[in-house]
Structure 1
Amino acid sequence: MYEQASHAVLNDILRELKPEIGNFRLRHFYTRLGANFYAIHSLFHLLYGDRLDFKMQMVSLVETLAVRYMERSPPLRKSDLARERDYNWFLSQKWVGMALYCDRFAEDLRGLRTKLPYLQDLGINMLHIMPILDCPPEHADGGYAVRDFFNVDARYGTTEEVEALAATLKKRDMLLVLDVVVNHTSNAHDWAQRARRGEKKFQDYYFVFDDREMPDTFEETMPEVFPATAPGNFTWDEAMGKWVMTVFNNYQWDLNYRNPAVLIEMIDIILFWANKGADILRLDAVAFLWKKIGSTCQNEREAHLLLQLMKDCCQVTAPGVLFIAEAIVAPSEVAKYFGEDAINAKECEIAYNATFMSLLWDGVATKNAVLLNQGLKHLPTKLERATWLNYVRCHDDIGLGFDDNDVRLSGYDPVQHRRFLIDYFTGRFPGSVARGLPFGENPKTGDSRISGSLASLAGLEAALESEDPTAIDDAIKTILLLHSLILSFGGIALFYYGDAIGMLNSLAYLADPAQRDDNRWVNRSYFDWQKAALRQQSGTVEQRIFSALKKMITMRKELSAFADFDNRQLVSVDNPNLLVFLRTDMHNARNRVLVVSNFNTKAQLLSLGTLRPYGLFQQEAMKELCSGERITVDNDAVTIPALVSCWLVD
């Protein structure tokens, strides 16, 4: 968009850039800068326009974009151009991801390259490597307490090996996802160390205070993220002689984005990793970016402005790179991280569908789809050029973040229902087969979240211990049911390493002093390659899970109706145990798939009366794609087997 005032500023800025920048051919850079500058200037002015150094900071920002563009390799620039032409490329149904820890899956980055055949055997073509940047070993928070944003932890390898991995993945038509922790740094980071030594410039990179007056004012409205292990939001730093904001852990210092230098530093970091070959960058803890007294310091308007700025700047230098918003927030807030408008307020193209995940687990515990159906009716609408990241498990705990009103409309009391779910998944509820652990229990409120591996939460651990074939069957069916839904719902399906072979909880973390107080490590165990080998042995638990998932993934990639173009229609049925939705190919309405999922442990009847208005079951049977079987009509209804998700076509 051309606007005279902002482009007059741009002309001034270009004259002030370092002379060496003018020696490069930057045609595409200047074209993109001109196209995005009105938005960049407007957003920067909204955030920092009252500062005396506004112009100087704008020059610094544009120089950062130009320098990183000059460093961008020809193959990456070529990829940018291709993705600009095919701008909906990531909405295809062909993308299926897996999140894993480099060291726990394959020791290091070099070893990871040798393990790619396992991923491709399953059908994975998007690899999310959990944080690999340099962290203090004793206070790493699983890689989220970064000491050096430009260096890989020596235990995993080097930045050169990241580039080698990215090149290998591209040859295999696979995407690379890397993390950038945007909310905080380790207290061992150079910025924090220099702040401790009294350098005012770097103290301004954080929230630091001489006494408790301001911290106490913030604390009046700020919730605690980890009340059991890291109560409060501020830590006294003896070396600096000041209080510092530490929302997550006392060794993680929150960055102060009221300082434009912090934003420019982070944009530089984002573009550095884009230039190393990342196709997608996962921005961690984006809901916390802007701190404001009198608020929860989450989901503030300014946090969205910062993300829009980051995205516009990335569009100038590395437009082929996508952002994932790691925002595990209330359902009403999640979709805001896509942006408010497809053109003028871009933020992140991808967001975690945490609401869907928690609703799926509710279905597992209740053995019905009542709250699942109710919650999905109110799932926020995404933008056209955005997509959900659908997942069953990840490295983190499970939060029960669905809407209280949806819980009430489903006939439950919100407090009592969450208490039931916590008790169920931690094995306290009579008859529960789940083996999870309570995480982050708040003694003041009684709130808690849930840790545990997918297989252990789904009952496989208990079933194997009891050697009960029926219980083993039910656990495997539950695992497949949940994955079937993330594959068919619409969006990118994200698997978690170990789930495709039914890996259970691991208590090995208890022997590590740095991990034993954080039971999320129960689900971060070392990948069991001996179990993985059993996927080739007929009849094993590993083979039954892996082969079924592999078939689903293969089938998904062939179904154009599963591409994510707002082409899902929730179908209301009279059986509370069933979730039913219709997926339709946007280019050919005759290509459609009816997804019917039964959360009950008994077979359920689906009346055809509610399906006929959609033109379904006009014949006497529909084909179930994964099994190849025909689902036949009997007394104007069809029978859906227990704990099964069917993909039905005419």
Structure 2
Amino acid sequence: MTQQHSRPQWWHDAVIYQIYPRSFMDANGDGIGDLNGIIQRLDYLANLGVDALWLSPFYRSPQADAGYDVADYRDVDPLFGTLEDFDSMLSGAHERGMRIIVDIVPNHTSSEHVWFQEALASSSGSRERARYMFREGRGEHGEQPPNNWQSVFGGPAWTQVPGEREWYLHLFDTRQPDLDWRNPEVLEEFDNVLRFWLERGVDGFRIDVAHGMIKVPELPDWDGSQEMIEGGNRGPMWDQEEVHEIYRRWNRVLTEFGRDRMMVAEAWVHPPARTARYVRSDEMQQAFNFDYLLTPWDADKLRRVIDTSLESYSAVGAPTTWVMSNHDSVRHASRLGLSHPGQRPNGIDADGEQPDEALGLRRARALIMLTLALPGSAYLYQGEELGLPDHTTMPARYRQDPTFHRTNGEQIGRDGCRVPLPWRADAPAFGFNTTGERWLPQPESYARYSADRQLEDADSTLELYRRLLAMRHEYGLGHGELVWQESSRSDVLSLTNGGVTLVLNLGETPVALPEGQVALQSATDAISHGQLAGNAAVWLTTP
């Protein structure tokens, strides 16, 4: 199966590393990571071998949803630094051969955004309110919401303006009012936001909730689930046809700055052919492959999602992306250690099933060998190169995710995958800073995952990632051709791409290896007497 490339740009085979700034590295010791912390770790990232960095939001924000509630799209929040710090970070990344992708959050603003404050101070039908989704409530006095929509974070998706009949829509938190993307003023504003960052030199944008923004005009009732579950979001608020007009418009904005800028869609839609519509030649350049992230530890299901993805994206001339974890999902090293490995729970706490940490890490190390053997682009979530698990026993008093609070703890939320990284095993906050302050607590187990210990260990997960990335680049696997190889077992995957053969044993029983020189293996005990152990993988080359 060959993946076609209409424009062989850098993003077609790039390995892109997601930085969640508040948890990456804290330079000023206040317990929250910052841009200067990223600057301090640019050499680490360059040595890891990634091609680009994607930064989650660092804009001015009251931080009701960890920065995904933006109050000013053209400035850096003082928590993270200044615009000058951003420019230094950008130039430092570029000097080391890494590109920068920034997050754009267009579905909603913060309730503290000047536009929304103007809307609240204005009357019904005003220009200021027309920028958002204000509607009159139902009932004799407008005392009931305009429809029955529920927030993705739990609870109603509408909040009433005090003393009025009108309500405003927020598909997420109350403090994240949805914009009306049929309003030309909204369109023009975001054209200019994109230009602001493009002029500063950014290489691309990750588009938050890319399948939202456009709602069915009548805003009909919807009785389906709002959870980002397998199969993707559904309903009159998601994946509407008009949303693609926005991305065609944005595509034209990007081309004002040349043809090497890109956008990647966070679109929780299904099937892959539906997602691929976001990356047609005049829209975005990439879309996250959430079908791959959601695939359980099963050889047949993995093969099917890989085939379907390559076919769907090739049909529109776009590269496929592969992603296993991000800031919205339990880390895959933990998911793969559950009794149903690969399931995507909405967080894990001390009362839930505790993953088998060793087994989860073993499978995670094997799965990255499959992921990086595939043609296309791959996304890594900060800390996965260390093999980090979620913090699965975090006490409730520390949790900050609005999902946890809006559901009264019924949904655990995403805090467990957002814990600050461990850089030094024997330092305060494991080297996240020098003061020991942390916005979320780290589990004691993070000491054994620290970067400093792994840099000294040739068999560490960090060293495995570095070797895989170097070999992937050397053999051009991102631009390669996938050919499945026959296997004698239904729980074993084998493929070739370029000069590399991957064998992944998802079962428990060892399997005989084909001929070839062992280049990399997922575990020190992965190979014995010409056989590949269970829950392990190997890259082979032709002697």
Range class of TM-score, shorter chain: 0.7 to 0.9
Corresponding residue number in structure 1 for 2:505: 598
* Cα offset, 1:335, TM superposition: 1.0
TM normalised by structure 1 equals: 0.65
2:415 pairs, out of 514, 521, 534, with: 521
Contact 2:137 2:165 in 1 (8 A): no
Query: Number of matched residues?
Result: 466
Q: RCO (CA 8 Å, sep 6+): is it higher in 1 or 2?
A: 2
* Secondary structure of 1:271's aligned partner: helix
- 1:151 matched to 2:83? The reply is no
- 1:575 matched to 2:500? The reply is no
Counting aligned pairs with the same residue, the percent is: 21
Q: How does 1:210-359 map to 2 (within 5 A)?
A: 210-212=136-138, 219=147, 224=150, 226=152, 229-238=153-162, 242-292=166-216, 293=218, 294=220, 296-331=236-271, 332-339=273-280, 342=281, 346-359=282-295
Corresponding residue number in structure 1 for 2:409: none
- Structure number with greater Rg is 1
Corresponding residue number in structure 2 for 1:126: 52
- 1:550 matched to 2:454? The reply is no
Separation in structure 2 between the aligned mates of residue 126 and residue 240 of structure 1, nearest angstrom: 48
Corresponding residue number in structure 2 for 1:89: 9
What letter corresponds to residue 604 of structure 1 in structure 2?
A: V
Q: How does 1:359-398 map to 2 (within 5 A)?
A: 359=295, 362-363=296-297, 368-379=298-309, 380-383=311-314, 385-397=317-329
Q: How does 1:24-103 map to 2 (within 5 A)?
A: 87-91=7-11, 93=13, 95-103=14-22
Separation in structure 2 between the aligned mates of residue 215 and residue 480 of structure 1, nearest angstrom: 54
Separation in structure 2 between the aligned mates of residue 187 and residue 311 of structure 1, nearest angstrom: 28
What letter corresponds to residue 488 of structure 1 in structure 2?
A: A
Corresponding residue number in structure 1 for 2:479: 564
Higher helix share: 1
**1:316-346 deviations in Å (ceiling 9; x for gaps):** 245431001111221242111112xx3xxx1
What letter corresponds to residue 138 of structure 2 in structure 1?
A: R
What letter corresponds to residue 312 of structure 2 in structure 1?
A: T
Corresponding residue number in structure 1 for 2:381: 496
Cα RMSD of the aligned pairs, angstroms, is 3.3
Separation in structure 2 between the aligned mates of residue 271 and residue 509 of structure 1, nearest angstrom: 43
* Secondary structure of 1:193's aligned partner: helix
* Cα offset, 1:600, TM superposition: 1.2
Separation in structure 1 between the aligned mates of residue 348 and residue 377 of structure 2, nearest angstrom: 23
Separation in structure 2 between the aligned mates of residue 243 and residue 162 of structure 1, nearest angstrom: 37
Distance verdict in 2 for CA 1:133–1:240, change over 3 Å: farther
* Secondary structure of 1:581's aligned partner: strand
What letter corresponds to residue 389 of structure 1 in structure 2?
A: T
Distance verdict in 2 for CA 1:326–1:92, change over 3 Å: closer
Distance verdict in 2 for CA 1:328–1:554, change over 3 Å: same
Separation in structure 1 between the aligned mates of residue 395 and residue 319 of structure 2, nearest angstrom: 35
* Cα offset, 1:239, TM superposition: 6.7
Return 5+ residue gaps in structure 1 as ranges. Answer: 1-85, 401-421, 440-449, 461-471, 585-591, 607-616
Contact 1:555 1:626 in 2 (8 A): no
Return 5+ residue gaps in structure 2 as ranges. Answer: 1-5, 27-33, 221-234, 406-411, 425-449
* Secondary structure of 1:162's aligned partner: helix
Contact 2:390 2:416 in 1 (8 A): yes
* Secondary structure of 2:462's aligned partner: helix
What letter corresponds to residue 20 of structure 2 in structure 1?
A: Y
- 1:208 matched to 2:134? The reply is yes
* Secondary structure of 1:282's aligned partner: strand
* Cα offset, 1:501, TM superposition: 1.8
Q: How does 1:423-462 map to 2 (within 5 A)?
A: 429=339, 438-439=345-346, 450=347, 459-460=356-357
* Secondary structure of 2:509's aligned partner: coil
Separation in structure 1 between the aligned mates of residue 261 and residue 395 of structure 2, nearest angstrom: 35
Separation in structure 2 between the aligned mates of residue 578 and residue 268 of structure 1, nearest angstrom: 50
Separation in structure 1 between the aligned mates of residue 266 and residue 362 of structure 2, nearest angstrom: 29
Distance verdict in 2 for CA 1:425–1:604, change over 3 Å: closer
* Secondary structure of 2:211's aligned partner: helix
What letter corresponds to residue 90 of structure 1 in structure 2?
A: W
Corresponding residue number in structure 2 for 1:485: 370
Separation in structure 1 between the aligned mates of residue 143 and residue 184 of structure 2, nearest angstrom: 22
**1:259-310 deviations in Å (ceiling 9; x for gaps):** 1111111111111112222111101101012110355221111011111111
**1:203-225 deviations in Å (ceiling 9; x for gaps):** 111110122379989746x6x45
Corresponding residue number in structure 1 for 2:451: 532
> Which ranges of 4 or more aligned residues in structure 1 deviate by more than 6 Å?
213-218
**1:485-528 deviations in Å (ceiling 9; x for gaps):** 22111222221112222333335573346446353011100111
* Cα offset, 1:371, TM superposition: 2.1
